[in-house]
Amino acid sequence: MVARLPSLKSLEVFVRAGQLLSFGAAASELNLSPSAISRRIRALEEELDTLLFVRRSKSVELTPAGARYLEALVPAFAAIKTATQDIVNEANRITLTVPQSFAFSWLTPCLPAFRTAHPDVELDIEVSGDITGRYVDDFDIGIFLSNARWKDRHSESLAAISTFPVCSPELAETLVAPADLAGATLLHVRQLPNAWEEWLAAAGAISVFQSPGREKDITFNDVQLAYEAAQKGVGIAVGADIVVEEYLRDGRLIAPFAERVESGFQYHLVTSKSRLRDPAIRKLRQWLHAEIENSDLR
């Protein structure tokens, strides 16, 4: 029996590691070293006398007990955050949570325009390793990639996603028709699991996806990592238009084929229902929609 509750910091470390299923990613978000994360998790397991994670050589998984603990703690942390915000009453401060790829490729270049339009709104931008927002609860408003809507939050479509192959200029010179992809290394993105299959089917080259040698393909958990690999000639990635356009504009990546396919995924704008009518939230929502409209990515 536990004589006292674990420290809030230890629980926070567990929650982030459990949500991201990565001690390294949790360490980056919490400004701790991976070894510090590992020590805190180990100490928490010893305090609870329960194994929370299964450690593998390159990954971690939650045990059944760890999964139940995470499920209970996530809403508890959200409640703590809400209560704290009610006391502090930061009416004009917004926590905007976005995936890394969206932040760097689209949002950051647009921020000066938002600051000019709304100097009274203080933005606290948090980059999340969870592009789908499935395990992210600590935010006022978020932008996430999904093919579904949220049940417990207000969500609205921000931008539909079209996909198409992208690669380095050098690799582009070797590609004349989609069938030429049969001998190439295809770079997949975990959050867009069917993107290659859908594009190849639309391009009349589904046999590429079914060709032998596909074991050389590589899967990434973040679209920006896939684009960086494609830029270096590692292989050919599937570009999602809203986050790959910057790479195309400056020539780091080339779209060798004209065919674009609408995926079933969209970037959704997800808002806490309790803050939906806040003036600052409303300003940010309206500005984001206007910027997307102006960028022809709707």
Residues 209 and 284 in one domain: no
Whether residues 113 and 176 share a domain: the answer is: no
Q: How many domains does the chain have?
A: 3
Q: Give a yes or no: residue 122 inside a domain.
A: yes
Q: Are residues 185 and 242 in the same domain?
A: yes
Is this model's pTM higher than 0.85 or not?
no
Q: Which two tokens stand for residue 124?
A: 């606290």
Between helix 34-48 and helix 8-20 the angle, nearest 10°, is 110
| In a domain? residue 70 | yes
Instruction: Tell me the pLDDT tens digit for each residue of 210-235.
Output: 888 788 899 998 888 899 999 999 99
Give domain status of residue 71, yes or no.
yes
- Cα–Cα distance measured from residue 296 to residue 242, given in angstroms and rounded to the nearest whole number: 9
What are the pLDDT digits (tens) for 162-183?
999 999 999 999 999 999 999 8
Are 169 and 259 members of one domain? yes
pLDDT, one tens digit per residue, over 35-90 is 999 999 999 999 999 999 999 888 899 999 999 999 999 999 989 888 877 765 55
180 with 125, same domain: the answer is no
One domain, residues 134 and 278: yes
Q: Are residues 229 and 290 in the same domain?
A: no
Q: Do β-strands 60-62 and 53-55 pair in parallel, antiparallel, or remain unpaired? A: antiparallel
* CATH number, residue 143: 3.40.190.10
pLDDT at residue 297 above 70? Answer: no
In a domain, 36, yes or no: yes
Check residue 26 and give its pLDDT: 93
Q: Are both 251 and 174 inside the same structural domain?
A: yes
Identify whether residues 149 and 271 lie together within a single domain.
yes
Give the separation between CA 151 and CA 164, rounded to whole angstroms.
31
Domain of 128 in residue numbering reads as 89-158+266-294
pLDDT at position 55 is 92
Same domain assignment for residues 121 and 250: no
- Same domain, residue pair 280 and 191: no
Residue 185 lies in a domain: yes
pLDDT in tens, 130-166: 655 554 566 788 898 876 666 778 888 898 889 999 9
Calculate the CA dihedral of residues 127, 185, 22, 147 and round it to 10 degrees: 60
3 located within any domain: no
Examine the domain organization and report whether 255 and 166 are in the same domain.
Answer: yes
- Residue 61 DSSP code: E
Residue 38 lies in a domain: yes
